[in-house]
Amino acid sequence: MHNRVVDGWRLAVGTLTILPVSPPRSVDRRVAGVAAVVSPIAFAPVALAAGLGGWGLARVLPVAVVALLMIGLVAWLTRAIHLDGLADTADGLGSGRPAERALEIMRRGDIGPMGVVTLIVVLGVQVASVAALAGRPWGWLAVATALAAGRGALVIAGRRGVPAARPDGLGAVFASSVPVVLAAGVWLFLALALSVAAQLSAGRWWLGLLAAIAGATIAWCLVRTASQRLDGITGDVLGASVEVATAGVLVVLTAG
């Protein structure tokens, strides 16, 4: 059990960030399940770095510039892996092709028009939302919490009953690795964290609850669509679910 937790932590940190960490000694579905569950906490250092960096820059720069720099920093500290998955997923699902052909499109290294437009829209929503939050008291904490909460999408994509579209890759390892009850528990924890951040930044704790519901729902819809169209999830779908969940959480928090 101890080895599984350690390997899961290492897998989460090594996959979600550029922070140096020893590679896991083994990677299987149980280790991937642990990685998915701890992913919001494993990502917390990056989220806090972006939030605190934005707090400092907001004192000397316009919030729009600060927001763009914050999202850019997150992309750099994650090797833009989730954004790559978002673009590939958009190209695959947007192609309208059968599952086998759509998966081939997602395997290619190039980005098509659907991927480009999706990146522009999702990143634009994230930047605009961060700009709205950055000027508020404790806004940096709301942003950091939202960024970490978006990684909770991994437990939704990896919950039991969701198949893998391919026999290899991250999708095959993470698919059906998280019990549904545990996935729900992760999001209850995230809802609590977001509620605290929303209370501090906007004086409306219930916005945090709504933000958690929005993020989880958007991730669930994407995973369901991918499962129906692709016959399962892939590593790209995992990344895409993180980005759309993050956008959903941020948008709701700006309502305060």
The string of pLDDT tens digits covering residues 144-184 is 999 999 999 999 999 999 999 998 888 999 999 999 999 99
The string of pLDDT tens digits covering residues 219-249 is 999 999 999 999 999 999 999 999 999 999 9
pLDDT at 163: 94
Q: How confident is the model at residue 109 (pLDDT cuts 50, 70, 90)?
A: confident
Least confident stretch, 192-196, 203-207, 212-216: 203-207
Q: Is the pTM of this model over 0.75?
A: yes
Identify the three-state secondary structure at position 233.
strand
Q: What are the start-end ranges of the H helices in 203-234?
A: 206-230
Rg from Cα positions in the chain: 17
Q: What are the start-end ranges of the H helices in 78-205?
A: 81-94, 99-107, 113-134, 139-150, 153-157, 169-174, 180-202
Beta pairing partners, 159 = 178
Helices vs. strands in the chain: H and E counts, helices first: 13, 0
CA dihedral of 164, 168, 173, 175, whole degrees rounded to 10: 0
Cβ pair 46, 147 in contact under 8 A: yes
Which of the 8 DSSP states describes residue 163? P
Asked whether residue 124 carries a pLDDT value surpassing 80, the answer given is yes
Beta pairing partners, 236 = none
Asked whether residue 2 carries a pLDDT value surpassing 80, the answer given is no
Of 44, 36, 41, 8, the closest CA to residue 182 belongs to: 36
Asked whether residue 202 carries a pLDDT value surpassing 80, the answer given is yes
The string of pLDDT tens digits covering residues 70-89 is 999 999 999 999 999 999 99
